[in-house]
Amino acid sequence: MPLIALTGGIASGKSTIASRLAERGATVVDADAIVREVQQPGGAVLDEIASAFGTDMITADGALDRAALGGRVFGDPEALARLNAIVHPAVRTESQRRFDEAFADDPAAVVVYDVPLLVEARVDDPWDLIVVADAPAELREHRLIELRGMEAGEARARIASQVTDAARRAIADVIIDTSGTIERTREQVDELWERLTGS
């Protein structure tokens, strides 16, 4: 019943790894999806965000204005830390509930936590294994431009705003090199799966 953390920088190929693990039978818990869920209208997290950053962070229909909030915290470490202090505890609580549920359903499950901000949000790590999706910053910048339509300056800024590749590698038990073909990335995931399950 391993609990695995999967992390990587923006455009590192983490989603490809998560998808392949799911295909092989892992239960994948998506931290970004949980963030969106805990920020839904009517919840305590959204109320706290409005209190901390102003009601102009909320749209006319009561939802979080993600673009406005992103613009407010991007490049402002203090504001980002304040936001994380609101959001991260709620995400940890919900993610733990999902881990527990998955293992209750199948004690032999392989549960993968797809979490971009693992280095930034490390608290009482329960992981049996930390897997890092790794690709050079130049390649990730190219992917952001080609696949997501970002301007070069925006792509570089997004990459620069995250922790360094070295910081992610430093906590890794397994590094999956995603700089090659998708097929080669999947082969590495299959090798990891065999290591975890013996099959």
Show me where the domains of the chain are located.
1-26+110-199, 37-108
* pLDDT reported for residue 157: 87
Task: Name the β-bridge partners of 7.
Answer: 132
Residue 169: half-sphere exposure toward Cβ, Cα within 13 Å: 8
The tokens 């993600």 sit on which residue? 66
Per-residue pLDDT tens over the stretch 39-76: 999 888 999 999 999 999 999 999 999 989 988 888 78
Helix (H) and strand (E) counts for the chain?
9, 5
Cβ contact 18:143 at 8 Å: no
The 3-state DSSP class for residue 66 equals helix
1-26+110-199 CATH choice from 3.30.365.10, 3.40.50.720, 3.40.50.300, 3.50.50.60: 3.40.50.300
* pLDDT reported for residue 39: 94
In the predicted model, what is the mean pLDDT of residues 108-134? 89
In the predicted model, what is the mean pLDDT of residues 18-45? 95
8-state DSSP, 128: S
CA 9 – CA 165 distance, rounded (Å) = 7
